[in-house]
Amino acid sequence: MQYFYAPWRSEYHTNKDKSKCVFCDISQTPEKDRENKVLFRDEICFIVMNLYPYNPGHFMVVPHRHLEALEDLPPNEWQHIANLAQKGVKLLKEEFRAQGVNIGMNLGAVAGAGISDHIHLHLIPRFFGDTNFITTIAKSRVFGSDFCAIYEKLLAKSSEYFG
């Protein structure tokens, strides 16, 4: 068994107050948008990079409203999130050159939600060859892109797509 260390994740595991919602913290601190890697925000939701991405360029659309049940989200807010997701797909395809995009929500811990008490919609850019033997055999992922450089690239174009 090989071990790959990701020391930048230690803060997530050790220093986070588990009684607080990370998405509510981001929602309530617009002055920290660059630090939190927020790409866009408006009165209904914000778009933030996933700090532990499935693939480079993975981001989420998150309502400001703290809800764990999608069915409790007002229809107009769900429609707004869906509209931003559609624009996000366009951003990923045109500016990040994604060849495909996965969109999804894990509703509840049993469904795989890492943060189950605050709904959020994932957009994951996909590329031919981004799944290979290392993920299935070594249970590891290798990213050939710098996270901060990806954030800056997407941020530079985000107002054109979401603004």
141-159: pLDDT as tens digits: 555 578 899 999 999 999 9
What is the CATH architecture of 36-162? 2-Layer Sandwich (3.30)
Write down the mean pLDDT value for the chain. 86
- Look up 120 and say whether it is catalytic: yes
Structural domain spans, the chain: 36-162
Residue 163 and residue 159: Cα distance in Å, rounded?
Answer: 4
DSSP readout, 78-119? HHHHHHHHHHHHHHHHHTS--SEEEEE---SGGGT-SSTTS-
Given the residues 58, 80, 118, 120, select the one marked as catalytic. 120
The residue with tokens 């309502």 is 63
User: Kindly report the CA angle at 54 between 11 and 2, in degrees rounded to 5?
Assistant: 70
How many whole angstroms from its chain centre is CA 112?
Answer: 14
Q: Tell me the mean pLDDT in the region 47-63.
A: 93
pLDDT in tens, 71-120: 999 999 999 999 999 999 999 999 999 999 999 999 999 988 889 999 99
* Distance (Å) of CA 30 to CA 17, 40, 50, 84, 156: 20, 10, 17, 19, 17
β strands within the chain, DSSP E: 38-41, 45-49, 59-63, 100-104, 121-126
Structure tokens at 4: 């790959």
pTM of the entire predicted model:
0.83
